[in-house]
Structure 1
């Protein structure tokens, strides 16, 4: 609501934004009453949350009833759809409420995505190709990798809101491109928050320049969300550590130069206490020899979507890491250091989800306008333009929640609740928007030649990584209950 109130106070709250608010409140109030869709196959009913009939009735006030009845109704959806019908290439539907600097950043990266990424993304996906290094080099020149790194270390010193906009626009072109910047951002945040001064001076300028590409190495074959059960071991041996164990679902591992590697340094301390984080150097691999570093092997995991960086299983057998590369210089702080990045990681996942959702919506809208059946564009049919209108509403609501969390982070305020909400909602909206856009394409959407087939596959991962939806919902619920 802060977004709408601010626009209204500035005289910028038009019919389009009003329809977004009306439809959004009507839809979400209906969901609270009847069931919240966590996915296509899981709906959380009030009874599942121990909400009794009396509480449901108490919620059903005249004001709520009016918002439901007059909010998400067919006439409003059609009005909204007609308003956005001719704004296909504008990059957003409705006033986002951002200042000129953010609008300039958005326009710069939208233009880059349109010219350098979108025309090639589907080919990269179908061929399961890496994102070309010249794209990474151009991103480096544009300052993507150092956007949030302080100027004293060679970065731009901008905030999370700026990074959200960049991630969103790049992910709209191709989710893998949007994720490249996030990887550097989170690695830099780990070093800024937990590294020694020497580590900051050594690594941050290289990351900011794009000279060093990082990868996060946390999960193991039998350990996903439960990081306290990690088994990969690091044993001190003079001025180095020897790493032995296995990791999985490691993105961009072959082309990375440094790994933020979470391992167990103290087997006698259970759970999170015995974990430590290392800045583990490795040689950048090639197509012929993806893992040339001694003590390290890797095998590719073939995936449905989220391509362009490739996923790997890694094996470590006496892999050597310099003792000076223990993050912060003290053992046992690995999980605490990682936790400091959770808010940013979830905000950035929400931003990438927004990019995927925006792309899906644009593909669906374009197809609906151009596809003629029964003598008219299928956009004219209520079941089609209704899907597009609701997508526009949910994308805007997710945007505002994501931007709010980012602003809280920029102001050094706790935002784990808002970041988790944005990630959970963003992942759901990306999937539902992509699924509905594919439905608008009909049988053509099932053909690999159409881009929506890729976008659907890309959207699916968002509900799994950076906190699976089930874990995310549980964390949000516990946080809300603890605050009451």
Structure 2
């Protein structure tokens, strides 16, 4: 694959923090250092692997996962006393943007750690799992969606029935990324039916299915879903046929009771708020990649005796692209900051996810146009950015779901709504 943006980004990179007069209020030297470290790692180590493996639909190699662990990226949001970096959603998203600029799946694998799959009742076990998560030796998968329950998670039908000191799980899950390669799968299941008049989300809980990497436990089978893009790890359609999970592997959040009938749905919603800001950051990384590739291509490609970057129409298109990326970055950083402050941000998370992902589709599409016929080949990175950006408007809730969340905070619901 021809690399039009394979050089490392240095201190003169226009996307790095600017002179003091232009620095945003949330800038700190530590954040700037973390961002630059992540950028160099992404450009020098991740991008070459992406260019080699993405055309083959290859998976993230073990050596790259180990490097992510060495840098501490699996534990960005885990407290320092538990082995993590002790940082927040802001830093998590900053690093993810840089990684997505090279290969979105590498930014995405970070979400399969960060303390996920550690909310068990036993404090000693929780502490051990947190340390493993921070080190990258406890990487999981999340099984939320089903064939008939994606945007409508309250319709989850996968069942977990208590049998002595175990749960027995039966049902089907879809869109479970990294399922076979994971150390565990966090599964949203129905343990009880709602009573008349109760919300359909009542009776949902999350279970921690512990497994060996590269295998499925007895009763669990599945097949990979062949995707247009988002390569780097496999996405699975899973069938649970009497899978047994120890009773103590019920996910229990802070202050929750083990018999709380609404805990599972609340946990999923809380997870999705951060996930949507994370998706916005990944979308910005993809769009920025398209802009950077286009800057180089407009100087490289000549027509009518001039680099095509001399033509005003193309220069103006590039300017629009860059402005949209900057706008989305400022927005996701604002929402990430609010999440770190503990503010309720369901509407803001939906807004930034909607705005940033739709922007990424527009910008990567324009970048393909600027590349002309070369953009519609696998010889250039821009087609990968476009394929991956298209998915960001779908996962973690489609754009239509984000609009529903936003509008529900603005308008009263009718009895039929």
Q: Report how many aligned residue pairs link the two structures.
A: 389
Question: Following TM superposition, by how much is the alpha carbon of 1:450 offset from its aligned partner in structure 2, in angstroms?
Answer: 1.2
Q: Which of 414, 417, 434 is the equivalent residue of 2:344?
A: 414
Q: Secondary structure at the match of 1:393?
A: helix
Equivalent residues in 2 for 1:263-342 (5 A)? 263-267=189-193, 269=195, 271-285=200-214, 291-328=215-252, 329-330=258-259, 332=261, 333-342=263-272
Q: Which residue of 1 aligns with 2:63?
A: 134
Equivalent residues in 2 for 1:207-226 (5 A)? 207-226=133-152
Q: Deviations over 1:450-483 (max 9, x none)?
A: 111111101100000111000101211222346x
5+ residue gaps, structure 2, are 1-9, 253-257, 413-417
| C-alpha distance in structure 2 between counterparts of 1:373 and 1:93, whole Å | 35
Q: Which residue of 1 aligns with 2:302?
A: 372
Question: Following TM superposition, by how much is the alpha carbon of 1:140 offset from its aligned partner in structure 2, in angstroms?
Answer: 0.4
| C-alpha distance in structure 2 between counterparts of 1:88 and 1:153, whole Å | 36
| C-alpha distance in structure 1 between counterparts of 2:282 and 2:334, whole Å | 16
Question: TM-score scaled to structure 1, two decimals?
Answer: 0.77
Q: Which residue of 1 aligns with 2:101?
A: 172
Question: Following TM superposition, by how much is the alpha carbon of 1:268 offset from its aligned partner in structure 2, in angstroms?
Answer: 5.0
| C-alpha distance in structure 2 between counterparts of 1:195 and 1:404, whole Å | 34
Question: Following TM superposition, by how much is the alpha carbon of 1:123 offset from its aligned partner in structure 2, in angstroms?
Answer: 2.1
Q: Which residue of 2 aligns with 1:158?
A: 87
Distance 1:249 1:88, change over 3 A: farther
Contact 1:401 1:418 in 2 (8 A): no
Contact 2:321 2:363 in 1 (8 A): yes
Distance 1:296 1:272, change over 3 A: same
| C-alpha distance in structure 2 between counterparts of 1:424 and 1:413, whole Å | 19
Distance 1:351 1:142, change over 3 A: same
Question: TM-score scaled to structure 2, two decimals?
Answer: 0.89
Q: Secondary structure at the match of 1:272?
A: coil
Equivalent residues in 2 for 1:90-169 (5 A)? 90-92=14-16, 95=22, 97=24, 98-169=27-98
- Relative to its length, the structure with more helix (as a share) is 1
| C-alpha distance in structure 2 between counterparts of 1:158 and 1:281, whole Å | 27
Question: Following TM superposition, by how much is the alpha carbon of 1:92 offset from its aligned partner in structure 2, in angstroms?
Answer: 4.5
Contact 1:278 1:325 in 2 (8 A): yes
| C-alpha distance in structure 2 between counterparts of 1:421 and 1:369, whole Å | 35
| C-alpha distance in structure 1 between counterparts of 2:23 and 2:211, whole Å | 42
Question: Deviation above 4 Å: which 4+ runs of structure 1?
Answer: 86-90, 92-96
| C-alpha distance in structure 1 between counterparts of 2:12 and 2:105, whole Å | 23
Question: Following TM superposition, by how much is the alpha carbon of 1:88 offset from its aligned partner in structure 2, in angstroms?
Answer: 8.6
| C-alpha distance in structure 2 between counterparts of 1:119 and 1:271, whole Å | 47
What is the RMSD of the two structures over their aligned residues, measured on CA atoms?
2.0
Contact 2:222 2:237 in 1 (8 A): yes
5+ residue gaps, structure 1, are 1-85, 286-290
Q: Which of 392, 396, 412 is the equivalent residue of 1:466?
A: 396
| C-alpha distance in structure 2 between counterparts of 1:370 and 1:208, whole Å | 42
Does 2:111 match 1:182?
yes
| C-alpha distance in structure 2 between counterparts of 1:174 and 1:195, whole Å | 36
| C-alpha distance in structure 2 between counterparts of 1:383 and 1:184, whole Å | 44
Question: Following TM superposition, by how much is the alpha carbon of 1:186 offset from its aligned partner in structure 2, in angstroms?
Answer: 7.0
Distance 1:380 1:297, change over 3 A: same
Q: Deviations over 1:302-344 (max 9, x none)?
A: 1111110111101111111110000113352211122222221
Q: Deviations over 1:149-177 (max 9, x none)?
A: 11232211101111111100011110000
Contact 1:196 1:327 in 2 (8 A): no
| C-alpha distance in structure 2 between counterparts of 1:357 and 1:103, whole Å | 20
| C-alpha distance in structure 1 between counterparts of 2:266 and 2:129, whole Å | 20
| C-alpha distance in structure 2 between counterparts of 1:134 and 1:90, whole Å | 30
Question: Following TM superposition, by how much is the alpha carbon of 1:386 offset from its aligned partner in structure 2, in angstroms?
Answer: 1.2
Contact 1:212 1:257 in 2 (8 A): yes
Question: Following TM superposition, by how much is the alpha carbon of 1:412 offset from its aligned partner in structure 2, in angstroms?
Answer: 1.0
Question: Following TM superposition, by how much is the alpha carbon of 1:207 offset from its aligned partner in structure 2, in angstroms?
Answer: 0.9
Q: Secondary structure at the match of 2:157?
A: coil
Q: Which of 337, 353, 361 is the equivalent residue of 1:431?
A: 361
